[in-house]
């Protein structure tokens, strides 16, 4: 016998950063909202991703800076200890992986949390275990992603780590193989290396951070090599064996061994489990396409990683704001991803906004690029050790505006702010060149890069 459906205004499946935000906005506006969460309210970001990894980065950066003391200021004895990092992650970031505070925050808005796995079982209908909800106004999908494990011989079934295993560790491994040289792989690689782990990064593509500018890959590769991280690019891994420790065989025949292996090769979704075919969506797809108001189907909105518009917390929360306004019938803003920012929190940070040179060319833009080396700027030179990097600007020559930028520098994510404004607001390059850039800041390198543009 099927359960009697309970009527509500909105059901949000998945309470990641965006799900939590949209559910709270709608409940706060007086709608009856059910948020469905199978794991922890808040999603990946606060418990296994952004927040704890940036606490790791903060600690690793302190070690990195202390090790630069001999080049700048005398002697410093550094004895790395993971205990304060592990304690901070357990006690401050994740409250021991307990979401009580997040649940209470949501319930204070008037929303109701239902624990379990939600599935669309008919248009406007969500089933969670033996509970059935009819959503009068709509369903919002924020299921996020799971770590993807590539089909490498011997990998499945081995005691591999994903980010969910690497974040809660109480001790750093002696040695670590990192499969994947994207943002997840590089942040963990540098953190653990700075705490004494012998790390090798294995990237299938010809360079690290292959989706970013080649100049950024060069700088970050040099920085990692200088800290003793092994970097193997191109070719990939053919075989993995675990016999007390991991052994991988690379395409060229080399074998590497380590105590642990971290898989950081991207993310996957399971749209079939979400039941999206019940509303006419392709359940074999990797993402849910959405329009500029996050509408995915009649009465269905999707937000976050699952939309494929940039797997970042800021994307998810941005989309949540737009979806909430649309559900509330407000004539609000529409999504505009031209100035999507992203920061890889390595040292130096790799920060990007908008299009890379190759993406801009592929999009038919008449491109001019302007590049400058951070170590050649006054501030980079003053900074000395640790002051290497690059600023690269991508201009649309016909329109006379920036369509993309990359900053690799100490605090590169902060320097990026000015360029994100320039891309977002389409500030004319002639106007940017008239700016006064404070001396001697890292952001002053932007002025040199602007001068290098052929616009």
Ligand X SMILES: Cc1cc2nc3c(=O)[nH]c(=O)nc-3n(C[C@H](O)[C@H](O)[C@H](O)COP(=O)(O)OP(=O)(O)OC[C@H]3O[C@@H](n4cnc5c(N)ncnc54)[C@H](O)[C@@H]3O)c2cc1C
**401 is an interface residue for ligand NAD by CB under 6 A:** no
Alpha-carbon distance 95 to 102, whole Å? Answer: 11
Task: Between 152 and 393, name the residue whose CB sits nearer to ligand NAD.
Answer: 152
Least distance CB 65 / ligand X (angstroms) = 20
**347 is an interface residue for ligand NAD by CB under 6 A:** no
Spell out the residues 6+ positions from residue 285 whose beta carbon is closer than 8 angstroms to its own. Answer: 271
* Residues near ligand NAD (CB under 6 A), total: 27
Task: Between 157 and 329, name the residue whose CB sits nearer to ligand NAD.
Answer: 157
Q: Report, in this order, helix, strand and coil percent for the chain, each rounded to 5.
A: 35, 25, 40
How many H-runs (helices) and E-runs (strands) does the chain carry? 16, 22
- The interface partner of residue 266, options being ligand NAD, ligand X, none and the CB cut-off 5 to 8 Å by kind, is ligand NAD
Residues near ligand X, by CB under 6 A: 13-18, 36-40, 43-45, 49-50, 53-54, 117-118, 142-145, 163, 184, 274, 304-306, 311-314, 316, 345
Alpha-carbon distance 450 to 398, whole Å? Answer: 16
> Are the C-beta atoms of residues 380 and 445 closer than 8 Å to each other?
yes
Is residue 54 marked as binding? yes
Least distance CB 221 / ligand X (angstroms) = 20
Least distance CB 166 / ligand X (angstroms) = 8
Applying the rule CB under 6 A, the residues between 100 and 139 that interact with ligand NAD are: none
Applying the rule CB under 6 A, the residues between 285 and 324 that interact with ligand NAD are: 311-312
**172 is an interface residue for ligand NAD by CB under 6 A:** no
Residue with tokens 């940017």: 432
Indicate the pairing of strand 246-250 with strand 367-373: unpaired
Alpha-carbon distance 420 to 426, whole Å? Answer: 10
Is residue 304 marked as binding? no
**407 is an interface residue for ligand NAD by CB under 6 A:** no
**345 is an interface residue for ligand NAD by CB under 6 A:** yes
3-state secondary structure of 366: coil
Applying the rule CB under 6 A, the residues between 258 and 287 that interact with ligand NAD are: 264-267
**400 is an interface residue for ligand NAD by CB under 6 A:** no
Alpha-carbon distance 239 to 347, whole Å? Answer: 31
- Please, what is the angle between helix 183-194 and helix 214-226, to 10°? 20
- The interface partner of residue 380, options being ligand NAD, ligand X, none and the CB cut-off 5 to 8 Å by kind, is none
Least distance CB 178 / ligand X (angstroms) = 12
Is residue 174 marked as binding? no
Residue with tokens 């410093």: 76
3-state secondary structure of 251: coil
Is residue 183 marked as binding? yes
Is residue 244 marked as binding? no
> Are the C-beta atoms of residues 97 and 108 closer than 8 Å to each other?
no
3-state secondary structure of 131: strand
**60 is an interface residue for ligand NAD by CB under 6 A:** no
Least distance CB 114 / ligand X (angstroms) = 9
Alpha-carbon distance 106 to 66, whole Å? Answer: 41
CA 123 → CA 120, 272, 324, 390, distances in Å? 7, 15, 19, 50
- The interface partner of residue 118, options being ligand NAD, ligand X, none and the CB cut-off 5 to 8 Å by kind, is ligand X
**18 is an interface residue for ligand NAD by CB under 6 A:** no
Stretch that binds ligand NAD, among 3-11, 182-190, 377-385, 418-426 (CB under 6 A): 182-190
Strands, E assignment, 57-110: none
Look up residue 358 and give its two tokens: 């190759």
Peptide bond into 327 cis (omega under 30): no
3-state secondary structure of 89: helix
Is residue 241 marked as binding? no
Least distance CB 378 / ligand X (angstroms) = 30
Residues annotated in a binding site for NAD(+): 180-187, 203, 266, 305
Residues contributing to the site for ligand NAD (CB under 6 A): 150, 152, 179-185, 187, 202-205, 210, 236-237, 264-267, 311-312, 342-345
Residues annotated in a binding site for FAD: 54, 118
């Amino acid at each position: 016998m099927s359960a009697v459906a309970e009527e509500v205004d909105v059901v949000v499946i998945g309470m990641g950063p965006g799900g939590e935000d949209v559910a709270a906005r709608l409940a706060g506006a007086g709608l009856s909202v059910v948020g469905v969460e199978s794991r922890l309210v808040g999603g990946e970001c606060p418990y296994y991703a952004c927040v704890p990894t940036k606490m790791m980065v903060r600690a690793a950066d302190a070690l990195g800076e202390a090790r630069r003391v001999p080049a700048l200021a005398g002697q410093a004895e550094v004895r790395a200890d993971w205990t304060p990092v592990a304690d901070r992650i357990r006690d401050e970031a994740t409250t021991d992986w307990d979401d009580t505070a997040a649940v209470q925050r949501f319930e204070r808005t008037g929303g109701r949390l239902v624990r379990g796995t939600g599935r669309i079982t008919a248009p406007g209908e969500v089933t969670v275990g033996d509970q059935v909800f009819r959503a009068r106004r709509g369903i919002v999908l924020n299921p996020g992603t799971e770590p993807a494990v590539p089909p490498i011989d011997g990998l499945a079934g081995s005691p591999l780590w994903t980010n969910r295993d690497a974040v809660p560790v109480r001790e750093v491994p002696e040695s670590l193989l990192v499969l994947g040289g994207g943002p997840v792989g590089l942040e963990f690689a540098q953190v653990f290396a700075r705490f004494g782990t012998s790390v090798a990064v294995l990237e299938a593509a010809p360079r690290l951070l292959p989706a970013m500018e080649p100049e950024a890959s060069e700088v970050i590769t040099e920085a990692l090599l200088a800290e003793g991280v092994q970097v193997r690019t191109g070719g990939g891994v053919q075989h993995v064996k675990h016999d007390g420790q991991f052994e991988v065989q690379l395409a060229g025949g080399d074998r590497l061994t380590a105590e642990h292996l971290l898989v950081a090769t991207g993310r996957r979704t399971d749209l079939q489990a979400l039941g999206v075919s019940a509303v006419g969506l392709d359940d074999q797809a990797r993402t849910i396409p959405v329009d500029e108001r996050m509408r995915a189907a009649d009465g269905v909105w999707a937000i976050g990683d699952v939309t494929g518009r940039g797997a970042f917390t800021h994307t998810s929360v941005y989309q949540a704001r737009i979806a909430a306004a649309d559900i509330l019938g407000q004539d609000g803003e529409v999504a505009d991803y031209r100035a999507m920012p992203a920061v890889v929190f390595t040292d130096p940070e790799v920060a990007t906004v908008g299009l890379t040179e190759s993406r801009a060319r592929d999009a038919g833009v008449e491109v001019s690029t302007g590049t400058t080396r951070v170590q050649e700027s006054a501030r980079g030179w003053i900074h000395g050790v640790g002051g290497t990097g690059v600023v690269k600007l991508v201009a649309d020559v016909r329109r006379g505006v920036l369509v993309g930028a990359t900053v690799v520098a100490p605090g590169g994510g902060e320097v990026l702010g000015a360029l994100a404004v320039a891309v977002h607001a389409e500030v004319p390059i002639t106007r940017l060149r008239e700016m006064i850039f404070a001396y001697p800041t890292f952001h002053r390198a932007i002025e040199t890069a602007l001068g290098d543009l052929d616009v």
